[in-house]
Amino acid sequence: MIEGKPLRTVRSFVRREGRLTPGQQRAIDELWPQFAIDEADSMIDLNQLFGRDAPKVLEIGFGNGATLAQMAAEQPEQDFLGVEVHRPGVGQLLKAIEQQGLTNLRVACTDAVELLNNRLADNALDRVQLYFPDPWHKKRHHKRRIIQPTFVDILAAKIKPGGHLHMATDWQHYAEQMLEELSNSDEFINCADSSGYIPRPDYRPLTKFEQRGHKLGHGVWDLLFKRR
């Protein structure tokens, strides 16, 4: 407490509402009931949500959703749940779901930590994807990075034994921190060679900014860990 005010919980993201385009607003208004998940206290039965028993993949922070929609289209045998706090991105992904006729993709506009802690059962996920999370590059902000020991423990509880955690970043320092945090966990095994990192898997599409980064000589680090 400071001067009678409760301390705010440190979050790993900043909610950026942005300006919704008319198309994004229409997608949210019309498609939310069918493809999005309302905030609630109840547990989510993922098989019931998708209407089938199939591998379940959670992507945290999908941005505008273009690569996630592409993954869902290219991997129809898997079900994808994307969580994002940026509403224009949510609207854009809902548009893609409609345009591409995707039936194996659902969207949540909420805090990923709260979703994992309160709404998903243990061992519910076959893979968690965390691609290019906010690096919080200033040293004093490193504590805001989502990959921290407590979050790794949460992921370990929600990913099935034999399931995977796949991360990617274009910040070398963050890649090194991710590698250290996951290597220190007794719940995960690194799937890479002695370098600690893997080549980009075929199932992860290149993003537009990643393609631009490659042309400028910027590095990208992929990390893949298996749940024991």
Give me the DSSP letters along 100-117: HT-SSEEEE-S-HHHHHH
Q: Roughly what angle, to the nearest 10 degrees, separates helices 66-74 and 87-100?
A: 30
| C-alpha–C-alpha distance, residues 211 and 61, integer Å | 19
Scored b (16 or more CB within 10 A) or e, 140-170 reads: eeeebbbbbeebbebbbbbbeeebbbbbbbb
Phi/psi of residue 90, each to 5°?
Answer: -60, -45
Which member of 29, 45, 134, 186 is catalytic?
A: 134
Among the residues of the chain, which ranges form H helices? 22-35, 46-50, 66-74, 87-100, 112-119, 149-158, 172-183, 208-215
Could you confirm whether 134 is annotated as catalytic? yes
| C-alpha–C-alpha distance, residues 209 and 170, integer Å | 10
Active site positions, annotated: 134
